[in-house]
């Protein structure tokens, strides 16, 4: 069904104003408990080990909230000042070992292209049914395994802890190779010219490089300092567990906010930004405590309609415009695992499908008239197939 509302029908502007006092309070009520929980974990390690598991759960949840506030800073919505958002976002990024500036630029691209599956393929670089059909059986199985919900744990740890370090190392290695090549082949080039001629595959701008470099300096330096102070075994055990679970929660929440049955997943041609925001994003209904720790990111349709609305205005804005969100998908925690099956994009039908439906439909076509049906017929059949 075609959407009949326009973006101008939504009341958004009154909610786009940042409140610096409230933003400061949010940062303080997140970072201070996070630090205190680490002190409590250290004390508990020498007194009562039974307190460690619930403390780890709380540290994980506060890590999640730190990431959510960092996300707002990346949209320049948490504070009214762009410079303050950059500074606070960088600091919050250190808690989860994530270079905030580069992450925010990539995330901004997601906002600009949400629902356009030719340009943005979701949280796990999903394949189209046509691309999947060209893989051999081993690669198809590997694709399915790598996108299993449990892979959010090792994948999340890699994404936060390892990838930013590897990115910096790879970029520096590439630059050194570029430097040596220029010195050997273009002896007349000065250092400034060599630097300006370098185009990295690992960062887009010089600002991203500096953000990545300083993030790594502070993060790795913090690991070494806290390891010596708290004990390397204790620190890295607690830190790895909390960051792994926090990252998995990040991934799951982001996943279900865009990957679900009947999600708007269109080709670039005739793609509609408004439908991408409303039908390509879900409203994730969470318990109050999880809403707080996720900084109300569950109101995702409103967030995509205007990323400049800070988290502390999302609920009110949602309620103000709820009559215009009839076509938005509402999901709950119990629906999250069911969404995990939609990992293929049927580009002909502009929809997401599961591998099970794809294989059942492909097999039924082969069993009936394999010599007469081609890709177009297969994709049409997938669209008509309904999974139980």
Q: Give the model confidence (pLDDT) of 302-328 as tens digits.
A: 999 999 999 999 999 999 999 999 889
What per-residue confidence (pLDDT) applies to 387? 46
3-state secondary structure of 284: strand
What span, in angstroms and rounded, lies between the C-alpha atoms of 333 and 354? 20
Number of domains in the chain: 1
Please say whether the beta carbons of 42 and 234 come within 8 A. yes
3-state secondary structure of 203: coil
The tokens of 338 are what? Answer: 């069911």
Cα 146–147–152 angle (5° rounding)? 90
What span, in angstroms and rounded, lies between the C-alpha atoms of 40 and 49? 11
Parallel/antiparallel/unpaired status of strands 344-346 and 351-353: antiparallel
Please say whether the beta carbons of 304 and 276 come within 8 A. yes
Provide Rg for the chain, Cα atoms.
23
Please say whether the beta carbons of 93 and 31 come within 8 A. no
What per-residue confidence (pLDDT) applies to 198? 81
Give the mean pLDDT of 43-49. Answer: 87
* pLDDT digits 0-9 by tens, 250-293: 999 999 999 999 999 999 999 999 999 999 999 999 999 999 99
What per-residue confidence (pLDDT) applies to 372? 45
Residue 54 belongs to some domain of the structure: yes
Give the mean pLDDT of 323-346. Answer: 92
Residue 371 belongs to some domain of the structure: no
Residue 171 belongs to some domain of the structure: no
Q: Which domain holds residue 218?
A: 15-123+150-159+205-337
Residue 383 belongs to some domain of the structure: no
Residue 173 belongs to some domain of the structure: no
Residue 67 belongs to some domain of the structure: yes
Task: Please report which confidence band the pLDDT of residue 95 belongs to, taking 50, 70 and 90 as the band edges.
Answer: very high
Residue 313 belongs to some domain of the structure: yes
Question: Does the reported pTM lie above 0.85?
Answer: yes
What span, in angstroms and rounded, lies between the C-alpha atoms of 198 and 181? 11
Residue 198 belongs to some domain of the structure: no
């Amino acid at each position: 069904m075609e959407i009949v509302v326009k973006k101008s029908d939504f009341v958004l502007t009154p909610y786009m104003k940042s409140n610096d006092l409230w933003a400061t309070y949010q940062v303080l009520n997140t970072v201070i408990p996070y630090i205190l929980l680490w002190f409590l974990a250290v004390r508990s390690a020498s007194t009562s080990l039974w307190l460690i598991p619930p403390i780890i759960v709380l540290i994980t949840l506060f890590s999640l909230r730190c990431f959510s506030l960092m996300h707002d800073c990346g949209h320049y919505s948490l504070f009214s000042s762009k410079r303050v958002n950059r500074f606070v976002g960088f600091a919050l990024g250190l808690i989860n070992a994530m270079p905030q500036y580069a992450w925010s630029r990539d995330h901004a691209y997601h906002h600009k292209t949400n629902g356009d599956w030719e340009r943005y393929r979701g949280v796990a670089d999903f394949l189209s049914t046509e691309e999947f059909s060209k893989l051999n059986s081993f690669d198809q199985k590997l694709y399915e395994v790598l996108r299993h919900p449990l892979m959010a744990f090792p994948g999340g740890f890699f994404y936060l802890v390892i990838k930013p370090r590897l990115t910096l190392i790879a970029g520096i290695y590439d630059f050194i190779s570029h430097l040596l090549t220029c010195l050997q082949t273009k002896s007349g080039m000065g250092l400034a010219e060599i630097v300006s001629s370098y185009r990295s595959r690992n960062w887009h701008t010089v600002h991203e490089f500096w953000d990545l470099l300083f993030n790594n300096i502070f993060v790795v330096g913090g690991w070494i300092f806290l390891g010596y102070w708290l004990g390397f075994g204790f620190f890295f055990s607690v830190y790895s567990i909390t960051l792994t679970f926090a990252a998995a929660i990040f991934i799951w929440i982001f996943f279900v906010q865009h990957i679900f049955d009947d999600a708007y997943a269109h080709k670039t041609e005739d793609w509609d930004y408004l439908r991408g925001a409303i039908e390509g994003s879900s409203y994730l209904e969470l318990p109050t405590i999880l809403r707080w720790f996720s900084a109300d990111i569950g109101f995702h349709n409103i967030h995509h309609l205007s990323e400049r609305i800070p988290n502390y205005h999302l609920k009110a804005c949602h309620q103000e415009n709820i009559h215009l969100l009839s076509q938005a998908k509402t999901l709950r925690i119990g629906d999250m695992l069911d969404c995990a099956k939609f990992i293929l994009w049927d580009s002909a039908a502009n929809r997401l499908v599961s591998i099970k439906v794809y294989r059942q439909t492909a097999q039924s076509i082969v069993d009936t008239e394999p010599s007469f049906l081609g890709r177009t017929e297969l994709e049409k059949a997938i669209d008509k197939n309904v999974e139980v």
